[in-house]
Chain A
């Protein structure tokens, strides 16, 4: 092509335009870059704070990371004081919480999503359930003190604590149940109904089967939250210094299970930590730091399990 062909001037103007377009794209991309930088900084800040806290706890408490720490009762001497009654108490309370929150939360979520008529009343319930998830935990503690301890006379027991934490995480379980159910496409439900299934058959054979990964995730995250709660437990009057274990749920004589442990006094990990932290003796602060690190590790493990399970269960379901 020679410079004097009629194409040349046209090309020049196109090139000029192209330069303008490229400059514009560059400007726009700068915004991309700036935003991703801000996002990264915010993320780093959050992660760094958490890491610093965690590392600090480990540095302070590492001397207590041994089996003895888990098998000793609290003691007046810091180096002999252990977590036995606290972790057993936490485990038993969590057991009650699980038994209370899961069937109730899943059933309530299922009912709201699949069965409840859609009207102003169910809307009202929906809004309230969502709001309940944001109610400060100490309010649950007050409710539990009035209802479970005074009115129902359940005492300051494992049962009371389990019920309280169960109520606390109930909204979390309900909301996550509803969200996982809602993720199931209408087409799948209609396919079930179209072959002549009843509502319960569709719910049982499809809705629950395909959503239990998400439900399980919600349950685990709720349980992790319950594990770290101390305010409602303090309100209902958990003991802080316990040198005994609740009666074992499993016995060696028939019928091999007993329920005495439910009415036993107890303490839990965060309260034990709080108790040690409030002592003037610096040596107890080591115990508190170690306990904090342990609670964080268990919580992270639970959340990690939730993520893994969700990934594994959802792997075969594509929609």
Chain B
């Protein structure tokens, strides 16, 4: 993989993050996200992977006392999305997120997917219908739900719910999609579906994924970052990380000697 020809979609520069109470959760993280690539974050529990991911859609702003330092710059517009003047809502309109546990709204399948568009003021029925169908197709769940769009989302299986959540995140045409351990609550078949889907999605957007599953990182990602105690220990293309890691700690973690 040639970094020189792959444009960078976003990058963190000297990113530090402090939780309410002063816990220094991220320490000087510098990391690029390449456009139309999947970047995986691996590392033991509590190493700051999810904290880092949630900086990208300013999820930490929902809770008082959290503090960012440094920058996350999005390209091509060079916006530092952590800047005070940048509204977190604007950031979330550009960067969507899929959570660890499927979290559909207690609404119909249709309304779940349409919600992001409704929030943006879209009320044209035709437009909504088209977008919902497109998103459900994009999330590879259209064939399973097309005859029951008005059913409650809770009636779907766990794997279907997670794909519905992907459709919800996809419907608003995000530039970057964040996945926070998207398959940890799913069985192996549903996991394989989601992984395949991620590989398809990267044609259209840039993906950052947190995973606890080393094989998953090796299978789906183009780049992998190993984090430990809030620091970025090693970052490289996935092949290199898994075959020739430059640091001993990374190798120990990947081979299962640690973590």
Contact = CB atoms under 8 A, between A and B. Distances in A.
Contacts of A34: none
Given A191-B165, A196-B93, A118 B116 contact: no
Interface in A268-319: 316-318
B89 interface: yes
A124 B49 CA distance: 37
Contacts of B105: 188, 191-192, 206
Contact of B119 (A185, A190, A195, A210): A195
Interface in A13-62: none
Interface stretch (A125-133, A169-177, A197-205, A231-239): A197-205
B109 to A, nearest CB: 13
Given A187-B103, A190-B62, A210-B106, A195 B115 contact: yes
Nearest to A318: B154
Interface string B43-61: 0000000000000010100
Contacts of B104: 191
A1 interface: no
Interface in B168-189: 168-169, 172
A192 B172 CA distance: 13
Interface in B227-244: none
A259 interface: no
Contacts of A187: 99, 101, 103
B119 A194 contact: no
A244 interface: no
Interface residues of A, number: 22
A117 B63 CA distance: 10
A118 to B, nearest CB: 6
Contacts of A198: 89, 119
A194 B64 contact: no
A219 B62 CA distance: 30
Given A201-B119, A316-B106, A318-B154, A196 B172 contact: yes
A316 B120 CA distance: 27
A197 B119 contact: yes
Contact of A193 (B62, B120, B165, B169): B62
Nearest to B119: A197
B interface, how many residues as a size bin?
Answer: 20 to 34
Task: Name the residue in A117, A187, A188, A195 with the highest tally of chain B Cβ atoms < 10 Å from its Cβ.
Answer: A195
A196 B116 contact: yes
A187 B105 CA distance: 10
Given A206-B105, A210-B106, A194 B96 contact: yes
Nearest to B101: A187
Nearest to B98: A194
Contacts of A194: 57, 59, 92, 96-97, 99, 169
Interface string B72-110: 000000000000000001001100110101011110000
A210 B93 CA distance: 24
Contacts of B165: 191
Contacts of A210: 106
Interface string A134-172: 000000000000000000000000000000000000000
Interface string A103-119: 00000000000000110
A187 B59 CA distance: 12
Contacts of A117: 64
Given A118-B64, A196-B116, 9 more contacts: A117-B64, A189-B62, A194-B57, A196-B120, A196-B172, A197-B115, A205-B118, A316-B154, A318-B106
23 contacts: A185-B103, A187-B99, A187-B101, A187-B103, A189-B62, A190-B59, A190-B99, A190-B103, A191-B103, A191-B104, A192-B105, A193-B59, A194-B57, A194-B96, A194-B169, A195-B96, A195-B115, A196-B89, A196-B92, A196-B93, A197-B89, A197-B115, A205-B115
Interface of B: 57, 59, 62, 64, 89, 92-93, 96-97, 99, 101, 103-106, 115-116, 118-120, 152, 154, 165, 168-169, 172
Interface of A: 117-118, 185, 187-198, 201, 205-206, 210, 316-318
